[in-house]
Amino acid sequence: ICGGAFAGLEKVIAKRGSETSIGFGAKVRHFQDQVTSELIKNLEPEDLIKYGLIPEFVGRMPILATLNDLDVSSLEKILKEPKNSLLKQYKRLFEYENVKLTFKDEAVTEIAKKAINKKTGARGLRSIIESLLLKVMFKLPTMENVEEVIVDQSVVKNNTEPFIIHGKSKKTSAA
């Protein structure tokens, strides 16, 4: 099994499929006008060779399968659902400081949109969350009476610091 993001492979496929038909019943649709995910479905071994892979290597790949790009809902699932999801990992980190970390649903959607706009996919989710929480994570051990840290849509969109909710201070008096 080999896989990867073969950037520019869709251009090789588009060149191969750019032959146009002529006649009254011909569809006059440019191959390049197709969405990348639709274009990549037309992958042939000869495209991989033209892309630059060694023919002997391509010949040892009997099955070629293509995957679609991740959309917002699939990135949201990646953030929330797995047993060791990113959101659960960060919540656990904050629990070490006895602080509750809350991600609003709109914030999770915005994080997914940001990953799509940056074209980083699921790999970029950690860096986005890290950039949102980095300052707070360093300040948190020195802060007192912090009960909860809330990340909402405006925090993700505007790249501002999350909201920090302080609890009541417990003053101890000497007897």
Residue 175 has pLDDT above 90, yes or no: no
Q: What is the mean pLDDT of residues 20-34?
A: 59
Measuring CA to CA, how many Å separate 84 from each of 80, 116, 149, 160? 9, 22, 20, 26
> What local confidence, expressed as pLDDT, does residue 42 receive?
85
Residue range 38-51, pLDDT digits in tens: 788 888 999 999 99
Please tell me what DSSP assigns to residue 165: E
Residue range 112-162, pLDDT digits in tens: 999 999 988 898 999 999 999 999 999 999 999 999 999 999 999 998 999
∠ Cα 71 74 75 (to 5°): 85
- Tell me how far apart the alpha carbons of residues 41 and 36 are, in angstroms, rounded to a whole number: 9
* pTM of the predicted protein model: 0.72
Neighbouring CB atoms inside 10 A of 140's CB total: 18
Structure tokens at 113: 């949109």
Structure tokens at 116: 């799509």
Secondary structure class of 65 (helix, strand, coil): coil
